[in-house]
Amino acid sequence: MSSMVEIRWHGRGGQGAKTASLALADAAFESGKYVQGFPEYGPERMGAPITAYNRISDERTSLHSNIYEPDFVVVVDATLLDAVAVTSGLKKEGAIVINTKKSPEEVKPQLEGYQGKVYTIDASSIAEEELGNRSLSNTTMLGAVVAVSKCLPADKFLTDVKVSLEHKFASKPHVIEKNMKALERGMKEVKA
C-alpha cells in the first residue's frame, strides 16, 4: 500500500478531538484521498479521555480497526500525558503534536522515552484569542497536525476546510473566519 498516513487523536470528551478527526477526513476526501475518520467509543462523558483516528491513503484499504502504530499522535489536552499512554505504538519516524505552552524539550520527559519528533503549540491560547474559548483548541490542533504530517497540500486543505465550514455555519459567517484564523495559526505556529 502506498503512502498511508495513520493519525491517533487523544483528547477529553467535549474538546473536539472527534470533530477534528472527522474534519480532517472530509478535507482528505475532498483532496481525492481514501479516508477513514472515527472515534473509539466507550463510556465517554464530558471530560473523560477519548480517542479518535484517521487513515489517509492514495489507495483503498481493507483495514478497519483502531490504529495501534500511528505515524502521528495529536494530544489536544496536555493533562493526558500523565493519564494515558499517548506514545504507545507511535512510530519513531513519526511525530507527536501536543497542545501546551511548554517547549518540545520541556515535555519530552513525560513521553515515556519516545525518541521521535515532538512538536508543541499553545492551541488553547490561540483558541482564546481567535474564538473566545480556550476549550475550542481542536481547530488549531487540526492545522498543526496537517502542517507536521504534510498529509495534505496546505493550500488545498485550507480551501476544503473553508468550504466545509461555510456549509456547516452558513448562518454564522463570523464563526467561519475565526475558525480559519485559528486553523492557519495552528499551521504556522507549531514548533519542533
String of DSSP letters for 94-157: SEEEEESSS-HHHHGGGSTT--SEEEEE-HHHHHHHHHS-TT-THHHHHHHHHHHH--S-HHHH
* 168 grid coordinates: 456547516
Lowest mean per-residue pLDDT among 63-67, 68-72, 78-82, 127-131: 63-67
pTM score above 0.85? yes
Q: What's the structural domain count of the chain?
A: 1
Whole-angstrom Cα distance, residue 56 to residue 58? 7
Per-residue pLDDT tens digits for 2-30 = 589 999 999 988 888 888 998 999 999 98
CATH code for position 125: 3.40.920.10
Contacts of 120 (CB under 8 A, 6+ apart): 97, 98, 99, 100, 102, 103, 104, 107, 190, 191
Per-residue pLDDT tens digits for 88-108 = 999 999 999 999 999 999 999
* 40 grid coordinates: 473509539
* 75 grid coordinates: 494530544
Domain that holds residue 90: 5-189
| Contact call for residues 96 and 114 (beta carbons, < 8 A) | yes
Q: Which residue has the cell 500525558?
A: 81
